[in-house]
Amino acid sequence: MNFFTKETKTALQAKEQALWLAFAPIAFQASKALRDLGILKVVADSGTQGVTIEDILEKVKLSRYSARVLLEAGLGLEMLIINDKRYTLTKTGFFILNDTLTRINMDFSADVCYKAMYHLQDSLTEGKPLGLKELGEWETIYPGLSLLPEPARTSWFNFDHYYSDLAFPAVLPIVFEQKPKKLLDIGGNTGKWSMACARYNEDVHVTIVDLPAQVNVAKKNIAEAGLEDRIDFYITNILDESQPFAQGYDVIWMSQFLDCFSEAEIISILRRCREALNEGGSIFILEPFWNKQQFKSAAFCLQQTSLYFTAIANGNSQMYHTDDFFNCIRAAGLEVVLENNDVGLSYTLLRCVKA
Amino acid sequence: MNFFTKETKTALQAKEQALWLAFAPIAFQASKALRDLGILKVVADSGTQGVTIEDILEKVKLSRYSARVLLEAGLGLEMLIINDKRYTLTKTGFFILNDTLTRINMDFSADVCYKAMYHLQDSLTEGKPLGLKELGEWETIYPGLSLLPEPARTSWFNFDHYYSDLAFPAVLPIVFEQKPKKLLDIGGNTGKWSMACARYNEDVHVTIVDLPAQVNVAKKNIAEAGLEDRIDFYITNILDESQPFAQGYDVIWMSQFLDCFSEAEIISILRRCREALNEGGSIFILEPFWNKQQFKSAAFCLQQTSLYFTAIANGNSQMYHTDDFFNCIRAAGLEVVLENNDVGLSYTLLRCVKA
C-alpha cells in the first residue's frame, strides 16, 4: 500500500479539493437532503432520459425554490448532471443512493458524529471525548451504547455490525483449526460471534466478557437462540487491572475491540490475555488496519473514523497502523504467527501466541 | 460553461467521492484542526525534507496520540504525504494553509454554517432559515448582522467583503461612463462602495439605502472619511412596499444585494427601482451567477453558498442562475443592455434600463 507517498494533484485540482473541504459541512448536509427528501430516487428512476424540476416537484413535497437550490448544489457535488433542463444521476449519486456502505457511513456521520465533531479540536488538545456530551452524559461512549438517543443508537450499531458481519464466516474455519474447547470472547457485545462459534462447533464452550449493559443484551439473544448451556458470561470492566481474567482458555477472541483502547490499555489487556491462555493456545485479533487496505477509500474511511474515537468514543483510541499496534503486541510478550489481510471488507486476522 | 453536463468519473472514483461525502463533517473538522493547531505550518516549513511526528511534537502542544490521528487523517484528506516516516505538504495542504479564499470560506463554514447546517433539511421543507437559531433569535440574519456572536461576526464580514473588494475598482469606470450626478446605493452596508464613488468622481451625490443597524455603521465610516456632505442616508426596510423610494436618480447601484431575496421580492425591488430612475438612467447590478463562472470550483462554491441562504440567512434566496434572475428583470419592466462576466473574482456586472 503506497497510497500516501506521492503528490497526485495538479494545482487546479488541489485548489478544487481545498475549496471542497472548505464547504464540506454544507456539501454533506446537501447530499443527505438530496437522498432523504427523495430527490435522488426520482432522478434515478428517470434513467438516461432524465427529469425536469417540474417532474420532480410532482413527486416530492418541496417548494420550487427548495428543490432548485438542492438540485444546483447536487450539480456541484457531481451527484447529478443536467442537459436540456433534465437532470440525470451520476455514478456518485448512484452510490449515495444505493451503496449500503456509503449509506451506513453517512448515517453514522450524521447521527453520531455531526454535532459532536464541532468539539474535535478541543478533544485533541484536552485528550477527552468532548463531543460525547452532544449524545449523553457519560465519560466514554461504552456504558452509554444501548442508551444512545435515536437515531444515533441505530446508526451506531448499523455501522459497528456492518463490517464484522461480513468478516465472521471467513474466519471461523481458521479459529477452529486446532479444535479449541474453551473460548473467551472479549467484548462479546450482542453475542453474535459467540453464537456463530457455538453453531459452528458443537464441542466448544464460550465465555463472553463485557460490561453489564452489553451482557444483558447478549444474554437475551443467546437464550432466544437456545444456546445458554454452551455460552456463559463474565461481567467486568476490562480496564480494571485488579480483576484477573479466568484461566485456561484455548482461544481468546477479540473482534474490532482493541481499537477502542489506548496503546497502554491494549498492552495491559493483552498481558492479561496471555496469562489466561493455555499452553499452545492462540489469541485471535480481528481488526481493520488503515495501512493494510486494498483501496485508498477504505484507508480514508478508517483514518476519519479514528477521529470519532478522539472526539466521541473515549478520546484516546483509533483505527491503528500496524506499526503502532504490533508494538503493543510485542510489549505484552506475544508474537504474531499469522497475518491474513483479506478478511471481509477491510479486516486483518492476527493469530498471536506467547513469545 | 458546461461543467455540469457530463459524467466525469469512473465507478471507483465515484465510490471514493461518495465515501468522502459520507465522512465530510469529520474531514472538515480534521482539516481545520490541522490548520489551526499549527501542524500544517510546521510541515510546510520543513519543505521537501519533511518532518517526523517527533519533530512536530517539539513545536505544537499536543499528545503523540492527538498529533498522530490528525496526521493520519491528513494523509487520507490528501493534505499530507509520508515517506520514510517524514510528512510533507501537498498542494491541497498548501491551499488550506495559505490560500486566502479557501481560508475565508472555511472560517465562514465553521463559524457561521457548521452548527446551523444541521437544520438544512427542515429549513428546506418548512421554507424558513431554521439554522439561524444557532446564532441568535432573529427572523432573518439581516437585522442581526452587526450583533452576531464572535467569531461568526468576523467570519461573516470577511466572507462578504472579500469578493466585493476585488470587484469595485473594475466597475467604477463603467458606472461613471455617463457621468451620473445622483446615485442611489441600495443595501449600502458599511458604506464602502459609496465612499469609493465619492472619491472616484467629485460631482456625484450618493444616497445609501439600508436598515438602521447598517446605516449606523456606514455613517460612522463616512464621517471619519470626511465625506458626509456628499453621501446621505435613507433608512428603510426595502421589503416594505408601502415605502416608495425617492425619485430622480441617474444611477441605481446594487452590489451582491439581490441574491439576499426571493424572486418575488427581487421583482418588487426592481419595479420600485424603475420608478426611481431618471429618463436615460441605469440600474447596475453586481452579482455572482453560478452558471457564469470560469472555474468549476467557483460554481461549486456559489452552489453551496446558496444553502447558507436557505438554512441561515432568510430561507428563500440564493446565488442565482442567470435564467431565473433575468426572468425577474424582465418581469420588472427592465432590460439588460450590458452583461460583463469578467469582474473581480466571480462577478457579473449588469446594466439594466427601462424596457
What is chain A's pLDDT, residue by residue, as a tens digit (355 residues)? Answer: 689 999 999 999 999 999 999 999 999 999 999 999 999 999 999 999 999 999 999 999 999 999 999 999 999 999 999 999 999 999 999 999 999 999 999 999 999 999 999 999 999 999 999 999 999 999 999 889 889 999 999 999 999 888 777 788 889 999 999 899 999 999 988 899 999 999 999 999 999 998 887 888 899 999 999 999 999 999 888 888 888 778 899 999 999 999 999 999 999 999 999 999 999 999 999 999 999 999 999 999 999 999 999 999 999 999 999 999 999 999 999 999 999 998 888 899 999 999 9
For residue A84, is it within any domain? Answer: yes
Report helix, strand or coil for B176.
coil
The verdict on B191 and B276 lying in the same domain is yes
For residue B186, is it within any domain? Answer: yes
CATH number at residue B23: 1.10.10.10
Contacts of A303 in chain B (CB under 8 A): 72-73, 75-76
Tell me, what's the pLDDT at A1?
67
Cα(B88)–Cα(B57) distance, integer angstroms: 15
The verdict on A337 and A190 lying in the same domain is yes
Contacts of A130 in chain B (CB under 8 A): none
Report helix, strand or coil for A309.
helix
Report helix, strand or coil for B144.
helix
* Residue contacts between A and B (CB atoms, under 8 Å): 308
The alpha-carbon gap from A160 to the nearest alpha carbon of chain B, in Å, equals: 15
Residues 98-157 of B with CB under 8 A from A: 99, 101-102, 105-106, 109-110, 113-115, 117-118, 120-121, 124-125, 127
Domain final position from A98, A122, A144: A98
> Is A4 in contact with B75 (Cβ distance < 8 A)?
yes
Minimum-distance CB partner of B4 among A82, A125, A299: A82
Tens of pLDDT, residues A20-53: 999 999 999 999 999 999 999 999 999 999 999 9
> Is B301 in contact with A21 (Cβ distance < 8 A)?
no
> Is B118 in contact with A114 (Cβ distance < 8 A)?
yes
CATH number at residue B257: 3.40.50.150
For residue A132, is it within any domain? Answer: no
Contacts of B316 in chain A (CB under 8 A): 65
Cα(A141)–Cα(A145) distance, integer angstroms: 6
> Is B14 in contact with A307 (Cβ distance < 8 A)?
no
Minimum-distance CB partner of A22 among B15, B18, B109: B109
The verdict on B197 and B337 lying in the same domain is yes
CB A316 within 8 A of CB A258: no
Residues 243-282 of A with CB under 8 A from B: 262-263
Minimum-distance CB partner of A9 among B73, B90, B127: B90
B86 — contact with chain A (CB < 8 Å)? Answer: no
Q: Which residues pair with B206 in a beta bridge?
A: B183, B231
C-alpha closest to that of B113 among A307, A310, A16, A118? A118
B24 — contact with chain A (CB < 8 Å)? Answer: yes
Domain range holding A251? Answer: 167-354
For residue A108, is it within any domain? Answer: no
The alpha-carbon gap from B241 to the nearest alpha carbon of chain A, in Å, equals: 22
The answer, yes or no, to whether ipTM is higher than 0.90 is yes
State the pLDDT confidence band at B338, using cuts at 50, 70 and 90.
very high
Domain final position from A80, A98, A116: A98
Contacts of B26 in chain A (CB under 8 A): 109, 113, 117, 120, 304-305, 307-308
Tens of pLDDT, residues A113-129: 999 999 999 999 999 99
Provide the strand spans (E) within chain A: 80-83, 86-89, 182-186, 205-210, 231-235, 249-255, 277-287, 334-343, 347-354
The verdict on B169 and B65 lying in the same domain is no
The verdict on B165 and B91 lying in the same domain is no
The verdict on A80 and A187 lying in the same domain is no
For residue A1, is it within any domain? Answer: no
Q: How many CB atoms lie within 10 A of CB B234?
A: 17
Contacts of B80 in chain A (CB under 8 A): 4
Contacts of B72 in chain A (CB under 8 A): 290, 303, 306, 318, 321
Mutate to test the interface with A, among B13, B72, B125 (most CBs of A within 10 A): B72
Tens of pLDDT, residues B86-116: 999 999 999 999 999 999 999 999 999 999 9
The verdict on A184 and A79 lying in the same domain is no
The alpha-carbon gap from A339 to the nearest alpha carbon of chain B, in Å, equals: 22
Tell the burial category of A52 from Cβ atoms under 10 Å away from its Cβ (0-12, 13-18, 19+): middle
- Which grid cell sits at B307? 444553502
A11 — contact with chain B (CB < 8 Å)? Answer: yes
Residues 45-74 of A with CB under 8 A from B: 61-63, 65-66, 68-70, 72-73
The verdict on A75 and A190 lying in the same domain is no
Contacts of B76 in chain A (CB under 8 A): 4, 290, 296, 299-300, 303-304
Tell me, what's the pLDDT at A245?
78
C-alpha closest to that of B83 among B118, B56, B48? B48
Cα(B216)–Cα(B323) distance, integer angstroms: 36
Minimum-distance CB partner of B24 among A4, A24, A76: A24
Domain final position from B58, B79, B98: B98
The verdict on B77 and B164 lying in the same domain is no
A78 — contact with chain B (CB < 8 Å)? Answer: yes
> Is B297 in contact with A102 (Cβ distance < 8 A)?
no
For residue B142, is it within any domain? Answer: no
> Is B18 in contact with A99 (Cβ distance < 8 A)?
yes
C-alpha closest to that of B285 among B326, B247, B323? B326
Cα(A187)–Cα(B187) distance, integer angstroms: 61
The verdict on B256 and B340 lying in the same domain is yes
Provide the number of structural domains found in chain B. Answer: 2
Tell me, what's the pLDDT at B1?
66
For residue B175, is it within any domain? Answer: yes
The verdict on B53 and B175 lying in the same domain is no
Residues 151-210 of A with CB under 8 A from B: none
Contacts of A99 in chain B (CB under 8 A): 15, 18
Tell me, what's the pLDDT at A223?
94
> Is B23 in contact with A120 (Cβ distance < 8 A)?
no
Tell the burial category of A312 from Cβ atoms under 10 Å away from its Cβ (0-12, 13-18, 19+): buried
Cα(B105)–Cα(B165) distance, integer angstroms: 15
Report helix, strand or coil for A151.
coil
For residue A291, what is the DSSP state?
G
For residue B135, is it within any domain? Answer: no
Tell me, what's the pLDDT at B161?
83
Q: Work out whether the CA dihedral A268, A272, A277, A279 comes out positive or negative.
A: positive
The alpha-carbon gap from A152 to the nearest alpha carbon of chain B, in Å, equals: 14
Minimum-distance CB partner of A299 among B76, B118, B263: B76
